[in-house]
Amino acid sequence: MRLLDVKNRIAVGAFGALVVLAAWLLLSPRTVDVAVIDSISADGTVVWRDAELRPAESNNTDVRALDGAEHRHTSRLAADAEFYLPLGCGSSRGVQVALFSGVGTVECTREQFAGAAVHAPRLTFNSAGEITEIAGRYHP
């Protein structure tokens, strides 16, 4: 095999990898890992702030909303938005969380979710910027 053929194959492979990476970045849902939800109105408008988890002496972590107007956001709920909590919502199986993230995996209705204490939720968005999933974290 000639050196030019090898270089061409490497270039084509690298270009293909870049195309796959770009497609994945464009098509994968955007998430906000930690948020504080200020309100969810009846019309589906969600007001939320970026936040961070900080170590705490009791209950492992504390959530702290970030200061500044650049960390305050308003989004709409998608028509098919899903809600998850670590326990409750009619499940009797105890605490159920996703491995590593600690977000709940018990599916709830919007009404059940609205009536629960939600700790440091993760928000997932579609390409239109609508919230498609809100998953609260387990917090003892």
**Cα separation values, 93 from 96, 97, 105, 106, Å:** 8, 11, 11, 9
What was the pLDDT predicted at 11? 65
What was the pLDDT predicted at 25? 47
pTM of the model: 0.76
Report mean pLDDT in 10-residue bins for the chain, 140 residues: 67 64 55 94 95 86 93 96 89 80 90 89 94 90
Chain Cα centroid distance, residue 35: 9
